Amino acid sequence: MKLILKHLNSYINCTIKYYYGLSSNINVKSIIPTDNSINISEPHVGANLAKFVNSNITLQNLIKIGVDISQFDKLKNIPEYLIKADFDRDIKKYLLFLLQLNIPSNMIHNVITKNPFLFLEDTDNLHVRINYLRWKKFSHNDITYLVIKYPKILSISTLELDSRLGNIQKLFGLSSKDIRLSFLSSPKIIDYNFQLLKLTSMTMIKELNFSKQEIKSIFQEYPLTLMTDRTNLIKRYDYLTNDMGIKRELIVKWPNILTSRSKIIKYRHLFLKYLEKIQYDETKPLYISMKALVSGTDEEFCVQVAKMSVEKYYEFLKTL
pLDDT digits (tens, 9 = 90+) for 301-313: 999 999 999 999 9
Give the per-residue pLDDT at 121. 95
Give the per-residue pLDDT at 48. 83
The secondary element (H helix, E strand) that includes residue 102 is: none
Domain range for 76 is 1-114
User: At what angle are helices 230-238 and 194-206 packed, to 10 degrees?
Assistant: 30
Residues 137 and 169 in one domain: yes
Q: Where residue 42 falls among pLDDT bands split at 50, 70, 90?
A: very low
Render pLDDT for 68-111 as a digit per residue (tens, 0 to 9): 999 998 899 999 999 999 999 999 999 999 999 999 989 999 99
Domain-terminating residue out of 129, 162, 190: 190
Residues 105 and 127 in one domain: no
Give the per-residue pLDDT at 9. 53
AA identity, residue 167: N
Between 29 and 189, name the one with better pLDDT: 189
Choice among 4-18, 43-57, 219-233, 277-291 with the minimum mean pLDDT: 4-18
Residues 4 and 92 in one domain: yes
Residues 154 and 250 in one domain: no
Residues 74 and 14 in one domain: yes
Residues 71 and 164 in one domain: no
Residues 28 and 78 in one domain: yes
Q: How many CB atoms lie within 10 A of CB 77?
A: 13
Residues 249 and 269 in one domain: no
pTM: 0.77
Number of domains in the chain: 4
Residues 28 and 88 in one domain: yes
The residues, any chain, with a CB within 8 Å of residue 73's CB and separated by 6 or more, are 46, 47, 48, 49, 79
Residues 5 and 78 in one domain: yes
Give the per-residue SS3 of 186-239. CHHHHHCCHHHHHHHHHHHHHCCCCCHHHHHHHHHHCHHHHHCCHHHHHHHHHH
